[in-house]
Amino acid sequence: MSIPASSPATGVQQSNDHYDVEAVRADFPILAKPMNGKKLVFLDSAASAQKPRQMLAAMQALYEDHYANIHRGIYDFSVRSTDDYDAARARVARFINAGHPGEIVFTRNATEAMNLVAVAWGRTHLKAGDEIIVSAMEHHANIVPWQMLREATGIVLRVAPIKPDGSLDWDVFSKLLNERTKLVAMTHMSNVLGTITPAKEIARAAHAVGAKVLFDGSQFAVHGGADVRAIDADFYTITAHKLYGPNGIGALYAKRDILESMPPYQGGGDMIERVTWEKTTYAAPPNRFEAGTPAIAEAIGFAAALDYMESWGLERIMAHERELLEIATARLSAIPGLTIYGTAPQKGAVISFTIDGLHALDVGALLDRQGIAVRVGQHCAEPLMDFLGVHSTIRASFAMYSTADEVEALAEGLEKARKMLS
């Protein structure tokens, strides 16, 4: 199936006529593996995406061909590994349109990136009474670090509510902004609702009162691409494992002058300029924030995954996923007793839902027996579950390798589960 689709990031109409999803699937070895004796239907990419063989090969090539520690060795293997690592940083910078590779700090994941901001920027620049605004749809990773900062410094945490369709309540949000607001920290796309927030407008409003803005791009980056300069983000976080890359590496983008104003997050090797018993001086960013031996192979795998995505064209991937979202929304809405949470006009390829009278865990277990992998639970968003008035939801999330046949398999699996559990 192929229809024109409008990208939530750009609004540009893109045809999906030349997107070969079966060719994409052939690049992901795990998709050919059965689960519980059934053909695998993997619909949990929002938790962690599967990996293309091109990414796996890039990491293996490092280990088999020229692996060595980086930045210190003058021998060939070390120089080549250093070049690959530095090229990976530049690759990530290009992916999100950072102004310079030095604005990219490698972290373990997006969670560590937000904690880095809370500690290194927050404890340096904020004081008691200063305010941070988050939204009601945040992942715990964009809640707990600010609560910890509140306990340490006395800052005030404000929560911008959402509307019944899952979109940000702009009227209330704009009223929360004031001269005490120092940071607005929001998801760019909800991992539960799929809601895409108006990042550019949020940044403009935050900057108008002198506040910085941080976006958690963990979900959005893979579905919509991210342009940090276009939205004028001060901070932006991403994680490789949701971008078809390896676990254990993510990135923090921050404007260069902001990074230079932040002290180190951790101490150790490679983040120093000079160490004496009396005093240590620190390296310039980004090295200042990357203590110890880094995730060398993971950085290279991260870059290879981005290369793979872009080889298919981000606009074509987005069009494909948007088509699947439309098909799934229509198909699941026809199932009696099924309620979808998150119907904002701007939405990524995620559907969270409940079925009347059925526990999400029971439904997930029955789908598993049919070879269908979905997420069940609170999705690290307990305050959002409280707002929605549910204990947990079932979540299906789509990726560049998902198909319309898998959407149908999900719907049929849910109908079967409904009959068995009712």
Over residues 181-224, the pLDDT tens digits come to 999 999 999 999 999 999 999 999 999 999 999 999 999 999 98
CA distances from residue 10 to 7, 79, 118, 198, 235 in whole angstroms, order as listed:
5, 39, 30, 12, 20
pLDDT at 93: 98
- And the tokens for 343? 């119907």
Q: 380 catalytic, yes or no?
A: yes
| CA 383 remoteness from chain centre | 19
Q: What does the pLDDT average to over 123-133? A: 98
Helices (H), 250-381: 256-260, 296-312, 314-333, 360-369
Of the candidates 308, 341, 226, 265, the residue with the CA atom closest to the CA atom of residue 107? 265
Catalytic residue (choose from 380, 390, 404, 421): 380
Largest separation between any pair of C-alpha atoms in the chain:
72
**Domain annotation for the chain: domains and CATH numbers:** 5-50+314-421 (3.90.1150.10), 56-310 (3.40.640.10)
Grade residue 357 by pLDDT with cuts at 50, 70 and 90: very high
pLDDT in tens, 319-338: 999 999 999 999 999 999 99
pLDDT tens profile 138-175 = 999 999 999 999 999 999 999 999 999 999 999 999 99
**Residue 282, φ and ψ in degrees, nearest 5:** -105, 155
Element (H, E) at 15: none
- pTM of structure: 0.94
- Cα-flanking dihedrals φ and ψ of residue 397, to 5°? -130, 140
